[in-house]
Amino acid sequence: MICVIFSIIGEILWLILSIRHISYSGAILVLTGLGICSTVYNYLHHYPIHNSSKIGYSIISALFSLSFLLYFYSSWNKSPSDICKAIVLGTISFYIFWQVCACTEQYIITHKLLGIYYDPNRKHSIVVFSGTFGIIAIVYLIYLFFISYPANAYSDSWRITQCFTGYYSNHTTVYHTYIIKACIEIGKKLFGNNTAGIATFNVFQILFMAFCFAYSVALLYKMHAPKWFLVAAFIYYAIVPYNIFYSTSVNQNAMFSASTVLLTAFLIEIVYSKENCRQIRLVAIGYFIISICFCLFRTNAYYAYCLLTICLLIYSVRLFIRSRKSGKDSRWTLYKYYSLLFLSLAVVGICSILRGPMIRHLNVRQVDAVESLSIPVQQIARTIYDGKMLTEEQKELLGKVVDIDKVSTTYTSWIADPMKDLVREGENQDYISKHAEEFLHLWVTLGLQYPGEYAKAWIDQTVGYWGLDTCPVDYYQDDVFVLEEYNIKGNIRSEVLNSVWDKYTYMFNHIYFLRLFSCVGIQIWLMLILFFVSVVNRRNFLWILPILGLWITLLIAVPVADALVYAYGILVTMPLAVIAVQLDQNY
């Protein structure tokens, strides 16, 4: 008991020391509360932790502790007091996170998985789906027609001009642009103007998002999620501001994120389906179609899907070897995973063709070389910005593609666009492609010379996707979409509803705990806890790989440090992830 008391005192000390360094402490408060509750819960139940769990939780707790200290790197110096503070904070961070992971495992295992199991034929699931779909669609359509007609003026919306010029770029995935173009043409034929055409696309997008979110809620119902959780998920999808806002954004992120939810739902259904499941063929067809959408709607999603396919291949090979040795696995299990692997390989093959040869055949302008190099560009720029010495050869090579003298005034730590635009000003990106090995050698050499600058650049560029302090509000904008040259005239049709909307979004941006909805970091760490709990307990984790892969690709190439839209697909999938990890695999 004394150990528990000292642990709680240490966790409170961690809270006090931490909140001095951050602007938003909501996530820190939540984590401290979870740490205290987990410590008490683990003490009272004395559930034995297996060695595999201890190793897994130690790994993720060490990662969390390291990330927590790195987040405050600008506050540390080499003074003895700061070193002692870092040791204390790092140790307590590790302890808190370890306790939360262990408590999560205990809660799932000791409560007999809470009676959560997948029942594809559960009564009234169609009623749940229909009701959820209808309400979500009505809420989003009210926002569209009365507050944000024909669309909101989100930052990437200007690329809609491609639909009128016919000059397409793959910067925002051209296949999504083709969908917008088709909807605009339908709207023009029905209503006679481009404004209605844009609105037609958003109606289609709203119905698609409502379908995906309603399917998620219906699946939660089929998985026997607790009633309070079911209601909370429904409310989350229906009224949280960023869901409503993104539903009228003319870019690929809304439909992509909804596709992520549906892909995860289909994976869960296939993985946990039994031989007598009547609708499994429809689910498999849906999985195939939505997988293609997932891969084509965002560039990094293709690589996340490849991760899923590789893991499926490894798992299928293991199943094959195990079945040959022991015959333990049923024919249905083998058939299910082999079919899933076949579909996934087919998706990868089709999307490889559509993303490569087909794009070239359609004469679509490809993304320039520097677009996918956000992190390396920022790291090299940070080295120059901090005044580190470069050799004459290094300066000469960089001088071929960028004005080195402008780097110090252009570099912005949290966004790569200024530096990428500076490279574009040089109009010599072909040189990067033709001399890729030389630039790779330059990047590696500078990294070995100045690892501190590379680490700082990476931290500043990605902190919004693992730090606990960032709550981006890029989903809140006042304007409607207007393009006068194409006769697109947006307007707010109800000033009363618009005023209510402004106050409503203000609440989520400024009321303390409501800001947690847009705190990407805490939801990312929740995802990692669920993943590690699944792995160490040898539970199926294939369903979490798409969002895990998305997060990994963000850490490699994200262009903006704290844009919620890049992590939006992960956020809206979390309700499914929280319940899926608790599913009874033996039912």
For 168-186, letters b (16+ CB in 10 Å) and e give bebbbbbbbbbbbbebbee
Q: Quick one: pLDDT at residue 329?
A: 64
- Residue 478: partners with Cβ closer than 8 Å, 6 or more residues away: 502
pLDDT, the chain, mean: 91
- Residue 91: partners with Cβ closer than 8 Å, 6 or more residues away: 65
As a whole number, mean pLDDT of residues 288-311 equals 97
Tell me the two tokens of residue 128.
């749940």
pLDDT for residue 569 is more than 90: yes
Strand pairing partners for 560? 415
| Full-model pTM | 0.95
Q: Say if CB 217 and CB 122 are below 8 A apart.
A: no
- Residue 274: partners with Cβ closer than 8 Å, 6 or more residues away: 120, 332
> What is each CA distance from 504 to 144, 231, 481, in whole angstroms?
16, 20, 21
Tell me the two tokens of residue 282.
């429809």
Report the first-to-last Cα separation within the chain, whole angstroms: 38
Quickly list DSSP for 42-108: HHHH-PPPPHHHHHHHHHHHHHHHHHHHHHTGGG--SSHHHHHHHHHHHHHHHHHHHHHHHHHHHHH
Q: Quick one: pLDDT at residue 368?
A: 86
HSE, side-chain direction, 13 A CA sphere, residue 66: 8
> Residue 519 has what DSSP assignment?
-
As a whole number, mean pLDDT of residues 282-309 equals 96
Residue 462 phi, psi dihedral angles, 5° rounding:
-120, 0
- Count Cβ atoms below 10 Å from residue 436 Cβ, excluding itself: 11
Domain boundaries, the chain: 2-110, 125-366+475-580, 369-465
Q: How confident is the model at residue 453 (pLDDT cuts 50, 70, 90)?
A: very high
As a whole number, mean pLDDT of residues 414-418 equals 94
Lowest model confidence (mean pLDDT) among 330-334, 336-340, 358-362, 558-562: 330-334
Residue 488 phi, psi dihedral angles, 5° rounding:
-100, 115
Lowest model confidence (mean pLDDT) among 9-13, 77-81, 289-293, 358-362: 77-81
Quickly list DSSP for 270-298: HHT--TT-TTHHHHHHHHHHHHHHHHHH-
As a whole number, mean pLDDT of residues 463-489 equals 78
Q: Quick one: pLDDT at residue 325?
A: 79
Q: Which long-range contacts (CB under 8 A, 24 or more apart) does 353-357 make?
A: 354/175, 354/292, 354/296, 355/295, 355/296, 355/302
For 483-519, letters b (16+ CB in 10 Å) and e give beebebebebeeeeebeebeeebeebeeeeeebbbbb
**30 vs 275: CA distance, rounded Å:** 42
Q: Quick one: pLDDT at residue 25?
A: 78
**330 vs 323: CA distance, rounded Å:** 8
- Count Cβ atoms below 10 Å from residue 95 Cβ, excluding itself: 18
Task: Specify the amino acid at residue 401.
Answer: V
Q: Quick one: pLDDT at residue 482?
A: 74
Tens-place pLDDT, residues 111-132? 555 578 899 989 999 999 999 9
Q: Say if CB 533 and CB 59 are below 8 A apart.
A: no
Q: What percent of the chain has pLDDT over 90?
A: 67
Lowest model confidence (mean pLDDT) among 285-289, 290-294, 524-528, 580-584: 580-584
Q: Is 540 left (phi over 0), alpha (psi -120 to 50) or beta?
A: beta
Lowest model confidence (mean pLDDT) among 225-234, 324-333, 378-387, 482-491: 324-333
Quick one: CA dihedral 430, 433, 436, 439, positive or negative?
positive
Lowest model confidence (mean pLDDT) among 69-78, 183-192, 289-298, 374-383: 69-78
As a whole number, mean pLDDT of residues 23-46 equals 88
pLDDT for residue 416 is more than 80: yes
**543 vs 553: CA distance, rounded Å:** 17
Would you call 317 helix, strand, or coil by DSSP? helix
Q: How confident is the model at residue 242 (pLDDT cuts 50, 70, 90)?
A: very high
